[in-house]
Every structure is written in C-alpha cells, then in structure tokens.
Structure 1
Amino acid sequence: MKNRKRANTRHQRRRVIQQKLFVVRNVWGRDGEEHIPHPFIVHPGKLAKGKLHCSCRMCKYDKHYQIPKPTVVSKLAVMQQEVDEYLSEE
C-alpha cells in the first residue's frame, strides 16, 4: 500500500464534494438562492460521506426502459448456446 500524504486525501475529498455539489445544484435544480436551502448546500462536507441515491430517468436509464445489463445479455447468450447444443445432439 502506498503512503499518501494528507494533501492527497484532502484533494480527493474536495474533488468528490465538488462533483456531487454540481449534481445537487444542476441536476436536482437546487440553488443557494432558495428560501430554505438544501442541507447539502449549507454543509457541503456531508457529500463526502456517501452516495446521492438519484433515481431519475437520466441516472437510471437502463432500469426505466428495461434494458438488460451486458452481463445478463452474455449469460443469456451462453445459456441459449447450451440449449441449442443440447437440442442438436438429439
């Protein structure tokens, strides 16, 4: 394991916070000019602790439009190939 300095840790934390703050402001449409600002805008350090859990159609495109994941597609193809081989033996 590499020895990393505190400056690197702070840089990564600041980078992640800025990325999530961009999502809160621009994707969720929350700005600091509102009457009651969003808690993440008041205390942006909370954004370093976890995920945003966005379930909009832009972030969860595959889920909303029933598009199977590539791993599922490849497993189904392998299963279909095995079924075809089994039926061709008979």
Structure 2
Amino acid sequence: MSTEYRGIGYRRYVRDKTILRKKRISKAVYGLDWYKHDGQYSKGKIHCSCGLCKYGKKYGLPTIRDMRETSREKILLSDYRMI
C-alpha cells in the first residue's frame, strides 16, 4: 500500500480556492475586503466576533433551531392531547 502525496501545485490550488470563496462571501456580506492581503483569507475566519454581532449568544437568546424545536414540541403535545 503506497502513500500518495499531493504536490505543491495541488495545495496552492486548494488554498486559492478557499481564498476566493471567503473573499466572495466577504464582499457579498460586508461589501468590502475584510483583509488587506489575499493570503490572510486562507488563515482563518471572515466574520466578526464582537458583542454586537454575537448578540443572541451573548445574552442567551434562543437560536432558530431552538425555536423550531419548541414549536415541534408544542405541536406534538397538542396532537397527543387530541387523542
């Protein structure tokens, strides 16, 4: 069983692909470039982590997933009571 290693060209291609994806998201959401240099997009996040952007998490508000789950529970309880 041989181990195949990827070449430098492949790694560069994957890196460029992630850079373009994150840059496109940054321009679509914020309307500007988040970083000065393109290489910084491959390093990490492209979102803000301040208290204003994470308002629900900071103050313990329910997420959409939680709200959907509670509505499902209410529907199931109402269906159970009808029987």
| TM-score (norm. length: structure 1) | 0.48
Count residues with an aligned counterpart: 56
Task: Report percent identity of matched pairs.
Answer: 29
What residue is the counterpart of 1:27 in the other structure? Answer: 29
**Aligned equivalents of 1:53, 1:43: Cα separation in 2:** 16
**Aligned equivalents of 1:43, 1:52: Cα separation in 2:** 13
What residue is the counterpart of 1:77 in the other structure? Answer: none
What residue is the counterpart of 2:47 in the other structure? Answer: 53
What residue is the counterpart of 1:5 in the other structure? Answer: 7
2:65 aligned counterpart, secondary structure: coil
What residue is the counterpart of 2:65 in the other structure? Answer: 67
Deviations 1:1-49 (A, max 9, x none): 530000100000000000000011111111xxxxxxx462x31110010
Gaps in structure 2 of 5+ consecutive residues? 54-60, 70-83
What residue is the counterpart of 1:14 in the other structure? Answer: 16
Letter in 2 for 1:53: H
What residue is the counterpart of 1:79 in the other structure? Answer: none
Letter in 1 for 2:20: Q
**Aligned equivalents of 1:20, 1:2: Cα separation in 2:** 29
Establish whether residue 43 from structure 1 lines up as the match of residue 45 from structure 2. Answer: no
Gaps in structure 1 of 5+ consecutive residues? 31-37, 57-62, 74-90
| TM-score (norm. length: structure 2) | 0.52
Q: Does the 8 Å CA contact 2:34/2:46 hold for their aligned counterparts?
A: no
